[in-house]
Structure 1
């Protein structure tokens, strides 16, 4: 039987992770990315140990460790900075792989560089936007258009994977009546700024409650002992019309300061971070409802195209990487491509559908909302507000549902390493 050939629509974290995984598995993949010249844009992202394990098994662990920060602790606090819950993360929690906080654009650059080296430039085609597809017998025909010239080309392969984000053209064709993403009536402001380390320099802090909260963590060492620090503000905006989803929409810092000017804590002066930030970006909090299927014959979805979720618990990018590894394993262990895509769907979709809904309810951050409701003016002892048992139940329930518990990550078999082999990198 001839080797499978895979069209990957989308060259983001999920699409490039899939291309690298397919290459490791001996399967030819070709990436089609709508952007002509992918740039290292964005701000921070957290890679969970489960995802770092997979990228390490792709040979990228050292590169990630060099340019990111090994996160060792997560602190949940109330809106006046009092500690609600603290837990070790990554290596400090007993994982065999670290949790890495990293600049999204730099992660993208690592993946893109590795993909170009391994599968060849001819198999990464930029400026190619997917318009439609059709399945014919034992193949899929995908129609792409050039963003500049408008010219079209049709490509054919055994499988099409839609890794083309929350506005996926593949998802739109299989769910034509779905409509626009679901707006949660919250907005996010994000930036990255060079700053002095706070706490131990390796801690993620989430402070506040459902309607107003901040997330702060370092993502890279810079000169003079400072750290490039990623921060996010999230707040409810009842009645506001949905903003366009533009990751590069800038906002004046005065708008953010007016909402968070009092968020000064003994361990962090948050308004100063806002004031020093060179650029602040604004976008709406959106996701999509879970769907009953990802795979349709020889076509499937991956990453944000399959499970666009709210950015709670640092899951979206990490889960896209796990999608890619799971799909590649299904393709090498299942002879029939259609059956392989069904297997991938059955393994990943139920967990991700559950995670979408959990994230809408704040995931592990739900403890912060309980504390706000019970002690809005602060507390003398956290034990008087919420019990250790209740805290642990909230946090551990999310970790288990997301496959993040130490036992699962450390001791499950590798997806691909045992069967990895190398094939020529010429385009199909």
Structure 2
């Protein structure tokens, strides 16, 4: 069973997703400044950069947004020109356009925006100009994928596109149609607001943290939603009544004197799982190091000695356990970009394949897209994971003023 625990403070909303009591996802945002990813803006191009094939767009945030040429071309590949044009041919300084944030401002970088619009619903991701229907690869059996694909083709208008999400599996046609109609109506309102607005202007803000988590991870038939704030309880109940009627009874109010995150061991797990050194249940360890460009994870046997005298077996068992934990921690820490994993060296190819397959299997539970590139010549496993928002826990940490984040200071 999964539990979605929502903690409110004066300035913060924090949400933790637990599975059988184990923390698997965490997010946080400021109440007055909730995330911008997925939001729509009327923007004005302030600079066109031929050398980067991109443009900078003023959308009203502190830093101008970055719009790459591929995000200006038509969303459907068949509608794109055979040879990519110069950015100067399709963008000009002062031009106003409707854009959507795909990547929030991170560090010193502004937001990344696109004209390939998408609106996620509970069951459907609506893409008003994509002109195709796709079905989540996680849906099985094939007969259900065929049903959903056919239904999507019947429901969509010419030029529209959609992705049937994993939770669409088994849902009635009427339920999916209702989701589509709501998203289509929302898109029409965004377009109308864009026509009436002068850039820069925010047109539509995505749901707040609690509502997004309910939309994306909450299963009303099996999961529990625990809140500790009466106002938050009313908000989530109203949202559930609108999107998942009948599931309001799954909202529990925490009345105990013990703080919510302490009662569900969230605080303890956050401190443990965001440390540099993490112990595996079997005795091995993971050491995490983060740079601006990539994340490096080192796997060590630690105190794990194995069940027999075979070094290869001991090493493989440690690596398999590490692969499971790394998949969970990548999701929990919301790591983005390049990830290099230094598993303990294995001699047999079949064991390397087992570790790869275990990691790949566990990554399928992650809502964020990831891709395992493969083993390098030095025996390191290379992968990537998409970054959309700043890690929730990262908002509560700052670089040490004494060591500058290196963990070391000069003693001479």
TM-score (norm 1): 0.22
Larger helix share, 1 or 2? 1
Choose between structure 1 and 2 for higher RCO, CA contacts under 8 A separated by at least 6 residues: 1
Mark the structure with the bigger radius of gyration.
2
TM-score (norm 2): 0.23
